[in-house]
Structure 1
Amino acid sequence: MNKINYYHSLIFFNFCILLSAFEFLRNNNLLILCLFLILSLGISHGALDHIKGKKILKILNYKSTSTFYILYICIGASIILLWLLFSSILLLIFLLVASYHFGKEDSEFINDKSNSDLIYFFKGSLIITAPLLFHKTKTLDIFINLNFDISQSLFISNEFLYIFIVISFFANVIISLNKQLDIKSLLLMDFLSILLLNYFLNPILAFTIYFCFLHSIRHSFKLSNELNKKNFIKGFKEFLIKAIPLTILTAVLFLISLFFLNKYYFLDNAISKVIFIGLASLTFPHILLEYFLEKNETQRN
Structure 2
Amino acid sequence: MSQDAGNTVKAGLSRSEGGRRHQWSVLVVALAAALGAVVLPPLTIEQQFWIVLVPIGVFGLSHGGADPLILRRLAADRRGTVALMTTLYVLASLAFVALIWFLPTLALLVFLLLSIWHFGYTDASFLSAQPNALLLWLSGSLPILGPMLGHPAQTSELFAWLIVRDPEQVRSILELAGPVLAGVWLLGFGRLAYRYHHKLSSRVLAELILVAVALILLPPLLAFAFYFCVIHSIRHFLSVAQQGLGVGEVAATLAFLGRKAAPATLGAIGIAFGVWVVIVLLEPSTTLLVEAVRVMFWALAALTLPHGLVVKTWWESRLSAS
Same topology, TM > 0.5 = yes
Query: Residue 290 of structure 1 aligns with which residue?
Result: 311
User: Where does residue 273 of structure 1 map in the other structure?
Assistant: 294
Please tell me whether residue 258 in structure 1 is matched to residue 258 in structure 2.
Answer: no
CA 1:258–1:173: 2 relative to 1, 3 Å = farther
Which residue of structure 1 lines up, in the alignment, with residue 50 of structure 2?
A: 32
Cα contact 1:120–1:171 (8 A) shared by 2: no
Taking only the aligned residue pairs, the percentage that are identical comes to: 23
Within-5 A mapping of 1:42-53: 42-53=60-71
Alignment of 1:183-202 (within 5 A): 184-199=202-217, 201-202=218-219
Q: Which moved more, 1:215-224 or 1:92-101?
A: 215-224
The alpha carbon displacement at 1:10 in A equals 3.0
Moved more, 219-228 or 90-99: 219-228
- Structure 2: distance between partners of 1:257 and 1:224: 33
- State yes or no: 1:16 paired with 2:16: no
Name the counterpart of 2:231. 214
Any residues of structure 2 matched to 1:1-301 within 5 Å, and which? 1=17, 2-17=19-34, 19-24=36-41, 26-29=42-45, 30-58=48-76, 63-110=80-127, 112-116=129-133, 119-147=135-163, 150-153=170-173, 156-167=176-187, 169-170=189-190, 173=193, 177-179=197-199, 181=201, 184-199=202-217, 201-226=218-243, 227-228=245-246, 230-263=248-281, 264=283, 265-301=286-322
CA distance in 1, matches of 2:21, 2:185: 27
Q: 1:94 to 1:157 in 2, by over 3 A?
A: closer
Q: Could you tell me how far 1:32 is from its partner in structure 2?
A: 2.4
Question: Structure 1 pair 154/276, CA: closer, same or farther in 2 (3 Å)?
Answer: closer
Given the two structures, how large is their TM-score scaled by the length of structure 2? 0.80
d(CA) in 2 for partners of 1:65 and 1:136? 43
Higher helix fraction (1 or 2): 2
Structure 2 CA distance for partners of 1:180 and 1:159, relative to 1, 3 Å: closer
Alignment RMSD: 2.8
Contact 2:69 2:260 in 1 (8 A): no
Counterpart CA distance in 2 for 1:138 and 1:300 is: 46
Structure 2 unaligned blocks of 5 or more: 1-16
Q: Distance in 2 between matches of 1:175 and 1:240?
A: 39
User: If the length of structure 1 is used for normalisation, what is the TM-score?
Assistant: 0.85
* Alpha-carbon separation, structure 1, partners of 2:30 and 2:248: 28
